[in-house]
Amino acid sequence: MCSTRSKEPAISDPRTNERINAKEVRLVGPSGEQVGVVPIHTALRLAQDADLDLVEVAPNSKPPVAKIMDFGKFKYEAAQKAKEARRNQANTVLKEVRFRLKIDKHDYETKAKRAIGFLTQGDKVKAMILFRGREQSRPEMGVRLLQQFAEDIAEFGTVESAPRIDGRNMVMVIAPLKNKSEAKAEQNARRAEEKATRRADKPADEADSGDSAE
């Protein structure tokens, strides 16, 4: 794997193998073990003996840190992680929950439950207070309401954008603690568990009749 590659590396790629121009490097082995500071030719030989690549992972260190690894596998895994991150970001939807400044307890609790439902599905929540008339002169009341709201749902989301005035309204954005894929995986696991529980609780005679019917 240490032979010179015909394909030109991307500008963002770290230097590898013979492209590393340091005279010595602080070498990390393929299993993460600290080898120590060694001459570059020694590090290249060790990488070649292991049929792996020498990758400069911290070029600004003195001396630079290089690790023996499968660079192709490293790039593939990094690309997969970036793809997953982009997919999660693209799938995140901004849901809206609207309040009045003088909201009653029941309505407030209903809004909070709705927001929690959105957050547990991996979506962001835009909490908005609609000011009426003279209420616009009391923005501090809106801030207090939104801060209380954030505290009440803190188990499910965290404030991404603090309360701010947006025209005649005040808005705050809450981000979910779990992304879309994590929320979906958790939901599927919960459904499977509930299904297994229902099967386990099924009366024995009902199960027997089902078996005989087959």
pLDDT confidence tier of residue 96, bands split at 50, 70 and 90? very high
Residue with token string 């070498």: 27
Q: How far apart are CA 25 and CA 62, in angstroms?
A: 8
- Which pTM does this prediction carry? 0.47
The residue that leads in pLDDT, 84 or 64, is: 64
Domains of the chain and CATH, by start? 17-69 (3.10.20.80), 91-176 (3.30.110.10)
Angle at 46 between CA 78 and CA 35, to 5 degrees: 80
Q: How far apart are CA 53 and CA 96, in angstroms?
A: 50
- Burial grade of 197 (CB within 10 A; 0-12, 13-18, 19 or more): exposed
Tell me the mean pLDDT in the region 37-63.
93
pLDDT digits (tens, 9 = 90+) for 165-200: 988 899 999 999 876 666 667 777 777 777 777 777
> Mean pLDDT across the chain, nearest whole number?
83
What was the pLDDT predicted at 26?
95
